[in-house]
Every structure is written in structure tokens, then in C-alpha cells.
Structure 1
Amino acid sequence: MTITELFGLLGYGMVIGVALAAPIGPINIEIIARGIRGGFVNGWLVGLGALSTDTVYAVLVVSGLTPLADSPRLRFPLFLAGGVMLSYVALKSLRAIRDTPAPSDHITPRRGRSYLTGVLIAAFSPMGIVYWVSVGAALVAEAVARVGSAGAPVLVGGVFLGLLAWVTSLSVLAQIARRFVTGRGMRWVTGISGVVILGFAAYFFIQAFQSIG
């Protein structure tokens, strides 16, 4: 593999990583909400937690475990677990509306909890799993076809960098927006994020029961 091929594949992976992260979903909603409530670090750690889970999925795809993860028998428990997890996050957010302080107030960041939230949302999100066992597997196959087996880890590394760039940028934007949000606005952000995530939970429950219909 030449240097040109190396950087070309790395850049290609970065584009794929951004494309994976950009659509509005539970992770992006949580990054924005936590970033506005608790600052850059809290939002960024949610994204880093999700990134950790995506990295595990990428390694599984490269290891050739895609057929196991794509088993129809796993769809019901995957969607059901995802719905339960997102329901918990959403209801916790909605219950916190009354206690949400203005961004200017002192907040002690619970960094470990932010990271764990990102890990769990991504781990129990069927959308992420489906992406990696379908699109991810195809990307790895393409990388191998282009430059041989050495291309797979390079492509995964590019995807990792793309995801990291996205969650960092989104957390920076949340930190900037935090300066302009009042206490009332913060409650709106908390409430809206809770409702949106609850909507994703409902979608997962519907998909779970449709998979056994």
C-alpha cells in the first residue's frame, strides 16, 4: 500500500465517519443537551462513549463476525433493549426539567456518567448495529479489494477520526450556544431532548414487535 493509497483510504474513512455521525439521532441529541447543560466536556464525553462502542462494532466487522450480528433472531432483543435504554434516558431527562439550572449556574460535571450514557445509548441502538453489519461490512470489503487486507484497519481508523471530529465539533457548538441560553431556555432544551429521545424509544419498540409479527 502506497502513501497515497494510505491517506486516500484514511480520508475516505473520515468522510464515512462523519456521514455516520451527522444524522440527528439519540446520540447527537444527548451531546447537544448535555453540552448546553454542563459544558463542552460533558457533551464531548457522551460522544466519546458512543465512539468507543462504534469502535468495538468496527473491530467485530473487521474480525468477520457480521453474520452473527445480522441474525434475524437478534432483532427483537436488540430493538427491545434499545427501546428500554432510550426510555430510561428520556424519562430521566423529562424528570430533570424542574431542577435544570441556568447554564451560568455552577454545575459539577459528572463526567463518568456522561461517558457511560454515550456507551450505553450506542450499544443498545439497533440503528448503529445495523449500520455496521451492513454498510460497515461493505466498506471493509471495498477496502480489502482496493489495497488488500491491510486496508481494513486503516479504513476503520479513518472512520474513528471522522466520528471524533464530528462529536468534537458538535460539543464546541453546544458550548457556544450555552452562553446564550437562559434558565427557561435550558428547561426547553431538556424537555425537547427528552421528548425526541422518547420518540426514538417508541420507534424501537415498534420495530421490535414488528420483527416477530
Structure 2
Amino acid sequence: MDLYLKFVLVGFSIALPIGAISVEMTKQGLKNGFLHGWAVGIGGMTIDLLLILALYFGLAEILSLPYVQIPLWIIGAGFLFMLAYDSIKNADRDITLAGEKVNKSLVITYRNGLLVAISPGNLVFWVSVFGVVLADSYSQTNSSSFIVAALGILTGILLHDIGLLSIVSVTRKIMNRTMIKWTSIIAGILLFGFACYFLYEFYLDIKFYIN
């Protein structure tokens, strides 16, 4: 239990900094409610779970190879540019105020969470940071401790998501359509910024390996 609680705190702490997933969750939460924001978070956690399984089955070395990571900068940037464009272009669409019926599909918002999470930043984070932590837990005791640590981390991320979306749900009740529209535009700009950062990292990696 102590090991589990320890990694719950680790997962919660790591999820606190604002990232692309948090931006997309907030946007969807404001436009379509708690469940749609949470669908984005679950999409991101799906990728996290797959990466944990990859680490568990010894694929960390493959995931850390430069020719595996470098293309992901472009892929991640492409997905974020697409989401940023959609967020800005459709800022005044699909807005459901508190109390109104939501027509947007949860599958679409879940897919957005998957797309945002497929990024080298997320990959490198799991391999370099959590990979070391989880591998250490695995090597020191046994595979069951690895699983407990991984579940603790995912629980911490889940608690962060629920807390963030609870705040968003309360805020949504006092926001009108225009305010939510501009929030979507700002979210699109932030996602565009993350995409540009991915391109910059791609450029630095290519430059490093060429030289």
C-alpha cells in the first residue's frame, strides 16, 4: 500500500504542469461538459498504459532509439497542428452550455486525447523518467511491485484529470457562449505553440545527428 500511495503522488505531481493534454481537456470540458473532457484524459491515459506495457515487456531500448523518436516529433506536430486548426476554426461550433444536451460524440474527443498523447515528449518522459523509476521498482522486488507502481502512477494522473475537470465544470456554469468561444481560440493557439515546439525539437535532433 505504501508503494501504491507513493506512486499515486508521483503520478499526480507529474500531471500538474500544463501540457497539450490539459489544454485539450479544458477546451472540451468547457465546450461539451465533464465527460467529454474526461474522454480526452482517458485517451491520453490509454497511450500511457501502452507505454507502461512496452516498458514492462522490455521495449524501452527500442523506444529510446533516435530513429524511432525523431519521426515522432513530426507526427506529434502534425496531430497538434490539426487539433489547433480545428480548435480555432470551429471555436464557435459544438458549444453546449450547462444544462443543454450534448450532441458531440465521446469517441471523437477520446480520439483527440489519443492524438495529443502520441508525442515524443510523452514517449521520452516515460522512457527516461518513469522508465527508470518503474524499472527500479521491478528490479528491486518483483514484477508485482512494477504493476503496483504503474497503477499508482495512472491513479495519480486520473485524480489530476478529475480534479481539473471538476473545476472546469464549475467554471462552465458561469460562462456564456462568447467566453467559451474565446477559450477555444486560446486553446488552439496554445496547441499551435506546442506543435511548433515539436518541430523545433525535430530540427535540433536532426541537426545533432547530421553534425
Q: 1:144 aligns with which of 123, 138, 144?
A: 138
Contact 2:94–2:104 (CA<8 Å) still a contact in 1? no
CA distance in 2, matches of 1:162, 1:110: 27
Contact 2:32–2:95 (CA<8 Å) still a contact in 1? no
TM-score (norm 1): 0.91
Say whether 1:17 aligns with 2:11: yes
Shift, 1:103, TM fit: 2.0
Q: Secondary structure at 1:161's aligned position in 2?
A: helix
Q: 2:203 aligns with which of 185, 201, 209?
A: 209
Contact 1:103–1:179 (CA<8 Å) still a contact in 2? yes
Measured on the aligned residues, the alpha-carbon RMSD in Å equals: 1.5
Q: CA offsets, 1:96-151, max 9 Å, x none?
A: 1243646245431310111111112112x211101111111111132134433321
CA distance in 1, matches of 2:163, 2:177: 24
Q: 2:23 aligns with which of 29, 39, 43?
A: 29
Q: Secondary structure at 1:212's aligned position in 2?
A: helix
* Alignment partner, residue 103 of structure 1: 97
Q: 2:110 aligns with which of 112, 115, 122?
A: 115
Say how many residue pairs are matched. 206
Gaps of 5+ in 2: none
CA distance in 1, matches of 2:113, 2:95: 22
Contact 1:100–1:183 (CA<8 Å) still a contact in 2? no
TM-score (norm 2): 0.92
* Alignment partner, residue 93 of structure 1: 87
Runs of 4+ in 1 over 6 A off after TM superposition: none
Gaps of 5+ in 1: 1-6
* Alignment partner, residue 41 of structure 1: 35
